[in-house]
C-alpha cells in the first residue's frame, strides 16, 4: 500500500505537492469514488483516476550497475555523450541514478525509479560507507594520509573522517593504489581529498556501497537488487 499522492507523483502526473492539491480539490478518484483525504492508502489493484483519466502505476525497479569510465551519471546529456540509462534501454521503468559517479570514475552505481528510496540514500544523514580504490601519483605513505582520518578542510567545508588502506606502491611507475572509505558524496570528493594530501588521482573506481559489491558484474552490466538488499539500504542510516 502507498499514499495516494505518492502514486500520482510517481506516475509523472504532477509533483507530490501538486498531487495533494488535486486530491483536496476533488480531482482524484479511487475505484470510481472521489477521494479528498490526504494520505489515503491505495494498493496495486486499486484504480486511480485524475480528472477521470486512469493513471498508469509503474512498478518500482532497483538496479546495481557497474558504471564504465567515460559515461555520464544522468538520464540525458546535452553534449550527446553516453549516459548510464543507455545501458537500460529495454527497461520499462523510467529509472535514474541514485547520486552520481564522475564521468571518468567507474564502479558501483544504483539506479531506481523510487523517489523515496533515492532521497533517503542521498540525504546527508544516511551514512552508508562507500569504498573507493584509487590509483594515485606518488609513493603513498601512511603519515601523509592520516589527516583523512580526522576530517579535513576542502574548499570551505570539512569532510567527515575517512578510513584508508595502502594496497600497493610501485617504485617503477611512481604510483600507488589506495583504498578510501567515506560516507559522504560531494562532487569530486575522493579526488579532492587525495589531492589535498599530495596524491593526485589518476584512476578511480567505487567498489562497494554499504554491503553491496560488483561481484559477478563486468563494466556496463547490471543486476536487480533483491528485497533484503533494498531493506538493508533503507535501514542503514547511523
Separation CA 179–CA 135 (nearest Å): 9
Residues 6 or more apart from 37 whose CB is under 8 A from it?
Answer: 23
- 102 catalytic residue (yes or no): yes
Listed in sequence order, the DSSP H helices in 11-165 are 16-24, 115-122, 142-145
CB neighbour class for 196 (10 Å; exposed up to 12, middle 13-18, buried from 19): middle
Exactly one of 78, 86, 102, 114 is catalytic; name it.
Answer: 102
> Treating both helix axes as pointing N-terminal to C-terminal, what angle do 115-122 and 227-234 enclose, rounded to 10 degrees?
50
Catalytic residues: 102
Amino acid at each position: 500500500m502507498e499514499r495516494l499522492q505518492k502514486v500520482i507523483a510517481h506516475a509523472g502526473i504532477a509533483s507530490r505537492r501538486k498531487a495533494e492539491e488535486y486530491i483536496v480539490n476533488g480531482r482524484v478518484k479511487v475505484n470510481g469514488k472521489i477521494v479528498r483525504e490526504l494520505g489515503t492508502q491505495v494498493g496495486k489493484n486499486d484504480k486511480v483516476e485524475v480528472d477521470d483519466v486512469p493513471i498508469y502505476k509503474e512498478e518500482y525497479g532497483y538496479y546495481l550497475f557497474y558504471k564504465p569510465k567515460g559515461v555520464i551519471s544522468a538520464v540525458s546529456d546535452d553534449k550527446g555523450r553516453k549516459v548510464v540509462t543507455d545501458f537500460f534501454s529495454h527497461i520499462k521503468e523510467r529509472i535514474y541514478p541514485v547520486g552520481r559517479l564522475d564521468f571518468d570514475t567507474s564502479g558501483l552505481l544504483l539506479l531506481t525509479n523510487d523517489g523515496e528510496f533515492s532521497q533517503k540514500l542521498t540525504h546527508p544523514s544516511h551514512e552508508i560507507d562507500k569504498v573507493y580504490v584509487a590509483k594515485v601519483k606518488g609513493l603513498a605513505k601512511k603519515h601523509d594520509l592520516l589527516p583523512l582520518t580526522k576530517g579535513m578542510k576542502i574548499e570551505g567545508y570539512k569532510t567527515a573522517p575517512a578510513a584508508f588502506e595502502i594496497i600497493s606502491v610501485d617504485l617503477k611507475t611512481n604510483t600507488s593504489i589506495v583504498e578510501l572509505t567515506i560516507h559522504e558524496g560531494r562532487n569530486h570528493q575522493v579526488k579532492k581529498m587525495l589531492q589535498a594530501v599530495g596524491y593526485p588521482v589518476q584512476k578511480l573506481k567505487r567498489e562497494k556501497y554499504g554491503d553491496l559489491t560488483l561481484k559477478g558484474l563486468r563494466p556496463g552490466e547490471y543486476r536487480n537488487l533483491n528485497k533484503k538488499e533494498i531493506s538493508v539500504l533503507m535501514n542503514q542510516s547511523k
